[in-house]
C-alpha cells in the first residue's frame, strides 16, 4: 500500500513552499501573481501561445536536475511537487546588478513596451544554461514560443548571441547551487503519493504507475494531467473543473525510453523534448517535423502519450506513428492490452479506451529494409501552430512498382485516419507521376474534410494531394532534378 502525504512541496526561487490545500485548477501563473504577488511573469494569452509567462521548472529526471522553460499560465500548481520553480524575480536582487541575460537585453535594445520581456529573458536564460554559445538558429528555437509585438526579433537575437559576454554559466547561481538544490529535491521526493483536498479541489499525484493504476481505477472520472498543454486551456479558456486531478507527468516509470525487440518504446509521460533524440536518431525524416510541434515551452511539457490519448483529429504525432505501425499499451488496474494505434481512434472524441484505463506507453517499430518515409506539416505560420493538414507517407518500391504503401493524415477527417483507397490505387503500380496523378481522385473516397478557422475543405484536399506529389518527387529524386533544372 502506497503511503500518502497530505502536502505538496516545492521550492520557489529561494523559498520552500508547502501547500495542504489547493484548487485543482490553480495555475502557476495565478499562484505567482495573485497569491504571492510576484508580478514579474506576465499574462498575455493564458493559452500557452505568447510565452510572456515563461518560467523555469527544475525537476529530477533520470537522476539529473534539469531546468526547462514552461508556460506558467497552463501549468498547474498541482504538478509541481518536488520541483524548483525559478521566476524572473530570482535573476537579480532588488537594486543588485542585472543578470547577464537581462544586461544583454538592455544593451542590445531588446525591449520596448516590456510586456514580453520577462518571458523572453527566461527563455534565453533556459537556453544559455545549456548552451553558452548559441547559433541564431538555437536562439530562434528557444524563442519559438515567445511573441514580441513591438521590438522586433533582431535586437533580441543579438542579445541572445552576446549573453556570455556579460557572465559565465559556471558562475550562474542555478549552476553553483545545483548540488544543494538537487539534494533538496531528492529529499522532497519521498516516494509517497500526494493527495490534497476533496471533490473538485482534489489533487492526486500518484507515486508510481502501479499507484496510478490503483488511483485511476478508483477515480475513473478524474482528469489525468501530464503536461497540461491541452487541459490547461480547458481551465483558462473554458473555466472547466478538472478535479479530481491526477497528475502523471512526473511518474518515473512512465518516463522510460528504450528498445524492445528492436522497436522504440516510449513511456506515456515522456515529453516531446525528452523523446526528440531517440525519435530523430531512428527516424531522421522527423527532425524538422518534431521541431515544429508547438514551441519550446510546449515541447518541454507536452507528452506523446497525451497527444495520442486526447484523440484530436489534428494532433501531430498520430499520422507518422500510424504509418510507422505503432501500437499503444493501455492499462487498467493490473490488466494491460496492446492496441494498434490506427485502431485506437474510433470517431470524433471517441477512442478505444475504457473508464479508468490509461495509455502506458507507445511502441514504434523500425522502418523495414528499403522503406521510404516522410511526414509533412502544413500550418498558417511556421512555429507554434497546430496543423491544418498533417500527412505521413511510407512506401516500399520493388522493381519500380509499389510493393507496400501506408498513408495517414491528420486534419482531413474526424480522427487521424489512413488513406486506404489511395493506398489501394497505388499498390502494385509503377511508382511514377502517372500512377500518383491517377490515384488523386481516390482521396475523395477516404476524406471529406471540413472548413474551419485553420483551413477550408478545398485547401485541405488540395494540400493533401500535393503532399503525395511531393513525396513522390522526394523519394524518386525527381524533385532535386527539377530544382537543379530551374536553378
Ligand atoms: C501553444 C500550443 C501549441 C501546440 N502545438 C501543438 C502542435 O504543434 N501539435 C500538436 O499535436 N499539438 C499541439 N498542441 C497541443 C498539445 O501540446 C498536445 O496535444 C500535447 O501532446 C498534449 O500533451 P500534454 O501532456 O500536455 O496533455 P495534457 O493536457 O496533460 O492531457 C491531454 C489529454 O490527454 C489525457 N491524458 C494525458 N495523459 C494520458 C494518459 N497517459 N492516458 C490517458 N489519457 C491521458 C488527459 O486527461 C487529457 O484528456 C499545442 C498546445 C499549445 C498550448
Ligand atoms: S500568457 Fe501567453 S503563454 Fe502564458
Ligand atoms: S517589447 Fe513590447 S511586446 Fe515585446
Ligand 1: which atom is nearest the Cα of residue 303? Answer: 25
465 with 449: CB under 8 angstroms?
no
122 with 92: CB under 8 angstroms?
no
Domain boundaries, the chain: 1-196, 255-481
- pLDDT for residue 199: 87
Q: Ligand 2 test: best mutation among 48, 237, 384, most atoms within 8 Å of CB?
A: 48
Among the bound ligands, the one closest to the CA of 375: 1
Q: Tell me phi and psi for residue 405, to 5 degrees.
A: -155, 145
What CATH class does 255-481 carry?
alpha beta
Distance CA(164)–CA(157), nearest Å, equals 13
Q: How many angstroms separate the alpha carbon of residue 114 from the centre of ligand 3?
A: 5
Among the bound ligands, the one closest to the CA of 110: 3
Does residue 25 have its Cβ closer than 6 Å to ligand 1? no
374 with 474: CB under 8 angstroms?
yes
3-state SS assignment for residue 374: strand
Ligand 2: which atom is nearest the Cα of residue 43? Answer: 1
Ligand 2: which atom is nearest the Cα of residue 297? Answer: 3
Q: How many angstroms separate the alpha carbon of residue 44 from the centre of ligand 2?
A: 5
- pLDDT for residue 478: 80
205 with 250: CB under 8 angstroms?
yes
Among the bound ligands, the one closest to the CA of 386: 1
Confirm whether pTM is higher than 0.75. yes
Does residue 152 have its Cβ closer than 6 Å to ligand 3? no
Does residue 76 have its Cβ closer than 6 Å to ligand 1? no
Output the CA–CA distances (angstroms, integers) from residue 393 to 33, 192, 348, 413, 446, in the order listed.
46, 45, 23, 17, 15
Reported for 120-124, long-range contacts at CB under 8 A and 24+ positions apart, including other chains, are 120/51, 120/54, 120/146, 120/148, 120/156, 121/88, 121/91, 122/41, 122/54, 122/55, 122/56, 122/69, 122/86, 122/87, 122/88, 123/51, 123/54, 123/69, 123/296, 123/297, 124/156, 124/159, 124/160, 124/163
Distance CA(4)–CA(175), nearest Å, equals 33
Q: How many angstroms separate the alpha carbon of residue 347 from the centre of ligand 3?
A: 42
- pLDDT for residue 487: 75
Does residue 298 have its Cβ closer than 6 Å to ligand 1? yes
The per-residue pLDDT string of the chain (487 residues; one tens digit each, 9 = 90 and over) reads 799 999 999 999 999 999 999 999 999 999 999 999 999 999 999 999 999 999 999 999 988 999 999 999 999 999 999 999 999 999 998 888 999 999 999 999 999 999 999 999 999 999 999 999 999 999 999 999 999 999 989 999 999 999 999 999 999 988 999 999 999 999 999 999 999 999 889 999 999 999 999 999 999 999 999 999 999 999 999 999 999 999 999 999 999 999 999 999 999 999 999 999 999 999 999 999 999 999 999 999 999 999 999 999 999 999 999 999 999 999 999 999 999 999 999 999 999 999 999 999 999 999 999 999 999 999 999 888 999 999 999 999 999 999 999 999 999 999 999 999 999 999 999 999 999 999 999 999 999 999 999 999 999 999 999 999 999 999 998 877 777 887 7
Cα distance between the two ends of the chain: 69
Among the bound ligands, the one closest to the CA of 155: 3
269 with 255: CB under 8 angstroms?
yes
Ligand 3: which atom is nearest the Cα of residue 111? Answer: 1
pLDDT per residue over 357-386, tens digit each? 999 999 999 999 999 999 999 999 988 899
Does residue 118 have its Cβ closer than 6 Å to ligand 1? no
58 with 86: CB under 8 angstroms?
yes
| CATH architecture, range 1-196 | Roll (3.10)
Which residue has 499499451 as its cell numbers?
Answer: 329
The full length of the chain comes to 487
Reported for 150-159, long-range contacts at CB under 8 A and 24+ positions apart, including other chains, are 150/112, 150/113, 151/109, 151/110, 151/111, 151/112, 151/116, 155/108, 155/109, 155/110, 156/105, 156/108, 156/110, 156/120, 156/124, 158/108, 158/110, 159/101, 159/104, 159/105, 159/107, 159/108, 159/110, 159/124
- Rg, Å, the chain Cα set: 24
Ligand 2: which atom is nearest the Cα of residue 145? Answer: 3
Does residue 307 have its Cβ closer than 6 Å to ligand 3? no
Question: Whose C-alpha lies nearest to ligand 1, atom 37?
Answer: 306
Q: How many angstroms separate the alpha carbon of residue 118 from the centre of ligand 3?
A: 10
Question: The sheet that has 335-340: what strands, in order across it?
Answer: 257-260, 263-267, 358-364, 327-332, 335-340
Asked, as a colleague might, if the bond just before 2 is cis with ω within 30 of 0, I would say no
Distance CA(240)–CA(238), nearest Å, equals 5
Among the bound ligands, the one closest to the CA of 153: 3
C-alpha atoms less than 13 angstroms from C-alpha of 37 in its C-beta half-sphere: 0
356 with 214: CB under 8 angstroms?
no
Ligand 2: which atom is nearest the Cα of residue 45? Answer: 2
Question: Whose C-alpha lies nearest to ligand 2, atom 3?
Answer: 48
Distance CA(296)–CA(111), nearest Å, equals 21
Q: How many angstroms separate the alpha carbon of residue 55 from the centre of ligand 2?
A: 11
Q: Tell me phi and psi for residue 66, to 5 degrees.
A: -120, 125
Does residue 444 have its Cβ closer than 6 Å to ligand 3? no
Ligand 2, CB cutoff 6 Å, lining residues:
43-46, 48-53, 71, 73
Distance CA(46)–CA(417), nearest Å, equals 31
pLDDT per residue over 403-422, tens digit each? 999 999 999 999 999 999 99
Does residue 143 have its Cβ closer than 6 Å to ligand 3? no
Q: Ligand 3 test: best mutation among 149, 155, 157, 159, most atoms within 8 Å of CB?
A: 149
pLDDT per residue over 58-96, tens digit each? 999 988 999 999 999 999 999 999 999 999 999 998 888
286 with 275: CB under 8 angstroms?
no
Interacting residues of 206 by C-beta distance below 8 A, sequence separation 6+: 2, 193, 212, 214, 215, 246, 247, 248, 251
Ligand 3: which atom is nearest the Cα of residue 114? Answer: 1
Among the bound ligands, the one closest to the CA of 42: 2
Amino acid at each position: 500500500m502506497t503511503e500518502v502525504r497530505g502536502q505538496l512541496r516545492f521550492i520557489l526561487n529561494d523559498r520552500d513552499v508547502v501547500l495542504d490545500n489547493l484548487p485543482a485548477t490553480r495555475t502557476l501563473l495565478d499562484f505567482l501573481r495573485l497569491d504571492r504577488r510576484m508580478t514579474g511573469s506576465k499574462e498575455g494569452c493564458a493559452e500557452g501561445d505568447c510565452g510572456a509567462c515563461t518560467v523555469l521548472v527544475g525537476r529530477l529526471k533520470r537522476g539529473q536536475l534539469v531546468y526547462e522553460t514552461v508556460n506558467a499560465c497552463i501549468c498547474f500548481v498541482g504538478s509541481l511537487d518536488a520541483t524548483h520553480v525559478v521566476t524572473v524575480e530570482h535573476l537579480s536582487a532588488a537594486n543588485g546588478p542585472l543578470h547577464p541575460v537581462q544586461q544583454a537585453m538592455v544593451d542590445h535594445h531588446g525591449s520596448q513596451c516590456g510586456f514580453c520581456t520577462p518571458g523572453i529573458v527566461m527563455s534565453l536564460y533556459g537556453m544559455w544554461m545549456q548552451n553558452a554559445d548559441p547559433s541564431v538558429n538555437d536562439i530562434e528555437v528557444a524563442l519559438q514560443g515567445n511573441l514580441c509585438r513591438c521590438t522586433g526579433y533582431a535586437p533580441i537575437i543579438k542579445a541572445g548571441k552576446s549573453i556570455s559576454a556579460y557572465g559565465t554559466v559556471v558562475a550562474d547561481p542555478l549552476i553553483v547551487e545545483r548540488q544543494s538544490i538537487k539534494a533538496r529535491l531528492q529529499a522532497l521526493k519521498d516516494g509517497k503519493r500526494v493527495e490534497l483536498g476533496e471533490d473538485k479541489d482534489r489533487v492526486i499525484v500518484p507515486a508510481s504507475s502501479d499507484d496510478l493504476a490503483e488511483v485511476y481505477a478508483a477515480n475513473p472520472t478524474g482528469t489525468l494531467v501530464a503536461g497540461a498543454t491541452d487541459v490547461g486551456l480547458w481551465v483558462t479558456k473554458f473555466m472547466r473543473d478538472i478535479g479530481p486531478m491526477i497528475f502523471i507527468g512526473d511518474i518515473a516509470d512512465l518516463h522510460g525510453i528504450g528498445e524492445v525487440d528492436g522497436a522504440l518504446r516510449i513511456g506515456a509521460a515522456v515529453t516531446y523534448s525528452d523523446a526528440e533524440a531517440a525519435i530523430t536518431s531512428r527516424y531522421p525524416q522527423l527532425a524538422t517535423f518534431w521541431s515544429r510541434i508547438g514551441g519550446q515551452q510546449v515541447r518541454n511539457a507536452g507528452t506523446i502519450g497525451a497527444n495520442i490519448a486526447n484523440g484530436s483529429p489534428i494532433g501531430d504525432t498520430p499520422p507518422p506513428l500510424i504509418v510507422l505501425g505503432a501500437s499503444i499499451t493501455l492499462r487498467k488496474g493490473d490488466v494491460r492490452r496492446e492496441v494498434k494505434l490506427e485502431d485506437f481512434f474510433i470517431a470524433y472524441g471517441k477512442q478505444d479506451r475504457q473508464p479508468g484505463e490509461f495509455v502506458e506507453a507507445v511502441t514504434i517499430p523500425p522502418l523495414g529494409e528499403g522503406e521510404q518515409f516522410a511526414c509533412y506539416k502544413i500550418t498558417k505560420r511556421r512555429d507554434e501552430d497546430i496543423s491544418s493538414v498533417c500527412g505521413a507517407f511510407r512506401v516500399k518500391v520493388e522493381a519500380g512498382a509499389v510493393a507496400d504503401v501506408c498513408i495517414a493524415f491528420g486534419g482531413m477527417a474526424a480522427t487521424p485516419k489512413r488513406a486506404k483507397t489511395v493506398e489501394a490505387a497505388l499498390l502494385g503500380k509503377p511508382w511514377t507521376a502517372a500512377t500518383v496523378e491517377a490515384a488523386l481522385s481516390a482521396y475523395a473516397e477516404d476524406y471529406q474534410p471540413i472548413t474551419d478557422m485553420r483551413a477550408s475543405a478545398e485547401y485541405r484536399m488540395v494540400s493533401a494531394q500535393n503532399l503525395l506529389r511531393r513525396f513522390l518527387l522526394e523519394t524518386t529524386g525527381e524533385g532535386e532534378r527539377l530544382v537543379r533544372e530551374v536553378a
